[in-house]
Amino acid sequence: RGTFNLKASPVGAVLFVSLCRNTLLEANVAKLGCSLPPARKTGTTICGVVYKDGVVLGADTRATEGMVVADKNCSKIHYISPNIYCCGAGTAADTEMTTQLISSNLELHSLSTNRLPRVATANRMLKQMLFRYQGYIGAALVLGGVDCNGPHLYSIYPHGSTDKLPYVTMGSGSLAAMAVFEDRFKPNMEEEEAKQLVRDAIAAGIFNDLGSGSNIDLCVITKGKVDYLRPHDEANKKGVRTGDYKYKHGTTGVLTKQVTTLQLEVMDESVQTMDTS
Amino acid sequence: WAPLSSSPHTNSTTIMAVEFDGGVVIGADSRTTTGAYIANRVTDKLTPIHDRIFCCRSGSAADTQAIADAVSYQLGFHSIELDEPPLVQTAANLFKQMCYRYREELMAGIIVAGWDKRRGGQVYTVPMGGMLVRQPVSVGGSGSSYIYGFIDSKYKSGMTKEECLRFTADALALAMERDGSSGGVVRLAAITESGLERSVILGNQLPTFFSA
């Protein structure tokens, strides 16, 4: 085979350079008796609702790698612009990268037009990109925000189709969440009512869908203000152990004790804090 | 059971358009499915392409939305260059060019309908594969199979706008009753020289027929 000239690739696109190598690996790995790591997906329940003053977006916080929970508290509500946020279901990497790309392009667009971006613009950019990749980018999104034309809510599917609706749900837990919405949604709700409805819809997904779990994040977007409530509801707090396997000092009698100090020089001491946000 | 994001989002659909003297009547159901789950039960499949030109979309939701957006752009640009409202035939040909060129990649069945000064009300059908033909009445989508007989027996030329609206609503209701992939509400629109009148017939207000 000839060499692959990387300089000829387009800038800022999804490169399929590893495709040949991956298919080869997949074929050979089966012979060895093991399997390739599954892509990290967000099993997910995400939803959104339009209420009197704006939109409320909600999401669970579980990220799965096959049948194992990879992240118990991941953030699925992504920033697009100061007045627009987007929940993402499907392949975690795809939702993360897609929302970041469109957020970046939308900021440039906003600087060019000298206006606050519109939700319809973000919708167009997302749907045109996803359609271009013909569904291979597994990103199912709930896009919501408030702009000069009022509050708007869109659901965007991996193949590039979109629906503009007053309430939407996506992800593996979407049926459970939709059941709650279809029962209790009313147009022009008050903020507290809308937040409670979204919270209950996500909870339905968390407790009835294996792919969704942990906490409930909410994002309330109104004209001029965004409340990013993470977590809004810790629906699954880790239990406190009632007993302890540790033995207390003195359980075992000590006969003799000998201390030998090691001759060590302290060269450098530094503290690195871990980012737990 | 959860909707797989791998199942494409389709407007399985029943869509219809009828010409009358002075305009056209178009109609569609409102169901979009992902596998067996109804992703949107109030879809608007009657998409404006220009002031007096609409298209009815059936097939893959992503494909038809992308095609409609592209044709709207092309037609808008063409109309500005022409400094005149565009012809329905032009819009239909733009759809045909796109649907024929990319026929292997697309799954789109589209009916283009509208009014223009040259030929009045016109209906053009662009089914999957990219054929283009003008018809006085046209139906499309998975639900259309069930109403060909009804259309053939009940259609007569020279109907008024109200008769066309009634005819379309009846046909769509019959199709929605028999086709699992069609349902929800009936969306209608009447396009004439003076403008556009949109209406919705909710589920409980649909015309009823004999049911066993």
- The two counts, helices (H) then strands (E), for chain B are 4, 13
Q: Contact at 8 Å (CB) between B108 and B63?
A: yes
Could you read off the pLDDT of B107-163 as tens digits, one per residue? 999 999 999 999 999 999 999 999 999 999 999 999 999 999 999 999 999 999 999
3-state secondary structure of A187: coil
Give dist(CA B188, CA B198) in Å, integer: 6
In this prediction, residue B4 has a pLDDT band, given cuts at 50, 70 and 90, of very low
Q: Contact at 8 Å (CB) between A255 and A232?
A: no
pLDDT at res. B146: 96
Q: ipTM for the complex?
A: 0.90
Residues in chain A with CB shorter than 8 Å from the CB of B40 are 155, 163, 165
* Amino acid sitting at position B154: K
Q: Is A91 exposed, middle or buried (0-12, 13-18, 19+ CB in 10 A)?
A: buried
Interface contact flag, A140 B42, Cβ < 8 Å: no
Could you read off the pLDDT of A188-242 as tens digits, one per residue? 999 999 999 999 999 999 999 988 988 999 999 999 999 999 888 887 888 888 8
Could you read off the pLDDT of A143-187 as tens digits, one per residue? 999 999 999 999 999 999 999 999 999 999 999 999 999 999 999
Give dist(CA B210, CA B212) in Å, integer: 7
- Max CA distance (Å), chain A: 81
Residues from A in contact with B at Cβ < 8 Å = 89-90, 124, 127-128, 130-131, 134-135, 138, 140, 155, 157-163, 165, 171-175, 209, 211
Tokens for A12? 């800022």
Could you read off the pLDDT of B44-96 as tens digits, one per residue? 999 999 999 999 999 999 999 999 999 999 999 999 999 999 999 999 999 99
In this prediction, residue A3 has a pLDDT band, given cuts at 50, 70 and 90, of very low
- Max CA distance (Å), chain B: 57
pTM of the model: 0.84
